Amino acid sequence: MKFNLNDIIRPNILSLAPYQCARDEFEGVASIYLDANENPYDNGLNRYPDPYQAELKSHIGRIKGVDSHQIFLGNGSDEAIDLLYRIFCRPGRDNYISISPSYGMYDVCGKVNDIERREAVLTADFQIDVPQIQNLWDENTKLIFLCSPNNPTGNTLNREDIITLCRSFNGIVVVDEAYIDFATTPSFTNEINHYPNLVVLQTFSKAWGLAGIRLGMAMAAENIIALFNKVKYPYNVNVLTQQKALDTLIHQADTVNLQIAEIVKERDKMSERLRSIPHVERVYPTEANFILVKIKEASRCYLQLLDEGTVVRNRSKVILCDDCLRVTIGTPEENKKFIEQLLAILD
């Protein structure tokens, strides 16, 4: 298969001349800025942000081992998901494939953009069935959304299967790695130089502890990132978000790494603890910061936990997740309390 990016881009995007903002036209340093109709009185936020977030990208690139031009930053990874549809999928005509069960935003964004979904249900051990996916696609299939470690199941998808899809699919393979920092499995960011149709999504919302600043990233070949840049809002990542992310990357990386280690330790401890409870039918293996647990009368447990003031995610109506709760790993004190509450409920 010879992948040609231009063949799969929406024609209106291929021919689009992007909006030229003031900071596109002039990128250097000046002493007087009279080009963007800003208020000249400095309050720390009176200037527009860098539309391409150069400083932040150079730090992220160093950490991730990718070039700055292979990174898109957005208002959460959700922005990247939405842009993928808008770049590649013609509403009412094209389609995408996503796995079930998985993250809900692929399908919400697909619906918003009026793109047909083709569902690839995972196997009983939550892996992808490659021939099934290969049978689902046709010449109008533009995107395949994979998630590894997967939400809500917690497992990573088999690396070889993902590679097989990258090699055989004449569209974009998206690997959402929102939870990769909790996993021992290596990231696919190393593969973006080998597969011209691979897009890896990561986020500051989970391990980095910055869900509140809304910052997500897509990493891919430079020509794909150029398309993101062409379609995105000019100033999509605000000054405060860029500053906070930079500060965290530069000054808090050690703290974050300690937190990740603690969360992983707690996760493994909590998995063991849950496995020892008789009403718990299954504790699924996880490489994320949550655990999927199959438990008798999951919905009743969910409501009784709420009564105790603890909210988990009830996934018991989700395909392949009958009677399952998804429990995020909290602080050691929170986890201990959760187990105590659960034991009291099941008693």
Binding region for ligand PLP (CB under 6 A): 76-78, 103, 147, 151, 176, 178, 203, 205-206, 211, 216
- The nearer residue to ligand PLP, 216 or 342, going by C-beta atoms, is 216
| Residue 253 C-beta: closest distance to ligand PLP, Å | 19
Find, among 99, 77, 119, 100, the residue nearest to 315 by Cα. 100
- The nearer residue to ligand PLP, 176 or 342, going by C-beta atoms, is 176
| Residue 138 C-beta: closest distance to ligand PLP, Å | 26
| Residue 181 C-beta: closest distance to ligand PLP, Å | 12
Contacts of 87 (CB under 8 A, 6+ apart): 9, 10, 13, 227, 228, 231
- The nearer residue to ligand PLP, 205 or 335, going by C-beta atoms, is 205
Q: What's the CA gap between 61 and 194, in Å, rounded? A: 17
Contacts of 300 (CB under 8 A, 6+ apart): none
Q: Which residue is at the shortest CB distance from ligand PLP?
A: 76
Q: Are 90 and 109 in contact (CB under 8 A)?
A: no
| Residue 101 C-beta: closest distance to ligand PLP, Å | 11
- The nearer residue to ligand PLP, 142 or 214, going by C-beta atoms, is 214
- The nearer residue to ligand PLP, 98 or 271, going by C-beta atoms, is 98
| Residue 286 C-beta: closest distance to ligand PLP, Å | 13
- In the sheet with 216-219, reading across from the earlier edge strand, the strands are 71-74, 216-219, 198-203, 172-176, 141-147, 95-100, 116-121
- The nearer residue to ligand PLP, 71 or 147, going by C-beta atoms, is 147
Q: Are 63 and 204 in contact (CB under 8 A)?
A: no
| Residue 248 C-beta: closest distance to ligand PLP, Å | 15
| Residue 107 C-beta: closest distance to ligand PLP, Å | 12
Q: What's the CA gap between 320 and 153, in Å, rounded? A: 9
- The nearer residue to ligand PLP, 202 or 271, going by C-beta atoms, is 202
Measured in degrees and rounded to the nearest 5, phi and psi for residue 60 equal: -65, -45
Residues 159, 188, 283: CA angle, nearest 5 degrees: 55
Measured in degrees and rounded to the nearest 5, phi and psi for residue 295 equal: -145, 145
Query: What count of other Cβ atoms lies within 10 Å of the Cβ of residue 169?
Result: 21
